[in-house]
Each structure stands twice: as structure tokens, then as C-alpha cells.
Structure 1
């Protein structure tokens, strides 16, 4: 479910790792202390989230954080996050060896 909120960016996160993902979250400059938590994505499942960007004053990176072998890992999933670009992001998470890898696409239909 997506909401039409001014300054909001919809994000669809797909899990293509072949296993359930737990304790992952998204952050960007300004929400490091209160990250957008994604408690669980079942294998081959997806989760929709909305980021409020109206207070974001400069372009920044969107990062995905996860734990692997009790160590915090971080991947930049989008490097052009700004409050004027509200197109939906589709983040697909894959497994590459023992690490996670991502492919991020922009849904041009949401312009």
C-alpha cells in the first residue's frame, strides 16, 4: 500500500536471496539515529516502505544495513536521494557468496 504524501518516496524491497532476511534497515543522512527498520522479508517476498524526504536539504546516499555473522554490513543502494525526485525505487537483494548484493531500479511510471 502506497500513500500519496507530499515529499514521500515509495520503495519496494524484493528478497531474491533464497532465504528469509531479518533485522535489515535503510538509512540516509538525517535518519541515522532513527533508521527505517525492515523486520523481516521472507525468501522470494517483498516489502513496501515510504521515506519522507521533505526535510532533506541535499542529495545523499540511501544505504541498506544488515548483519552477517554478527557483523554489521552496509551497502549503498542509491546515490542520488533528494527531495525533488519522488519516483519509486525498486531494490532487489541478491546473495553473492556470503554477502548481500543489490540492484536498484527507478520506476519511471511514477513521475
Structure 2
């Protein structure tokens, strides 16, 4: 959760929905599952009910991988191009760079070592 904000992040959301799914799979009634979630995650009964309803309608959700800040230095012109491409695509710089690095690493490219 962010400080001063009652919304939980994607990882916490997935944890709560998956806990609700576990309770439902174990045979708990919707109302009982909501009570357990509200107590376990210190959220309102209304919000807990939403997690249970999400679990009941869609099952478990994938827990997203934790994101970290990874700072690199690139030439200024490249940074401009990356920003422009992200803006054109409607995505974020992080999403664009992540996709590019995943693709690059999947192809097994290596750079020659500097001497």
C-alpha cells in the first residue's frame, strides 16, 4: 500500500484475490470468506466482498513480478528516441525498455568485451 492511500498495489491485490479463491475452494461461503479477508488484510467488509466476488468470477490471478528501479546511462539522443517511441505507442518508457531487453536477451546476443 502507498502511504496515505487506501489502494493496494498489484501484488497485494493478487494476494488478496488468491486468498479469497483458496477460501472458496476450501468450501467457505462468500460471506464467511469476506469476513476472513477483512480481518486478515485489515480492509472493509465491502472491499473484502469485492475480492471474494473477483475470485468467484475469475479464479486466481497471476501475482506480478516485483519491479525495481534500474538506472543506466544512455546517449541523450537515444533517450529522446525512447521517450518518443513510448509516447507514440501510448505505453511507458519502462514497458518499452522492458520489452526491448527481454527480446534482446531471448535472442542470446552478446557484446564483444572491451580490451
| TM-score, reference length from structure 1 | 0.24
Indicate the structure with greater strand content: 1
Which protein has greater RCO, CA pairs closer than 8 Å, 6+ apart?
1
| TM-score, reference length from structure 2 | 0.24
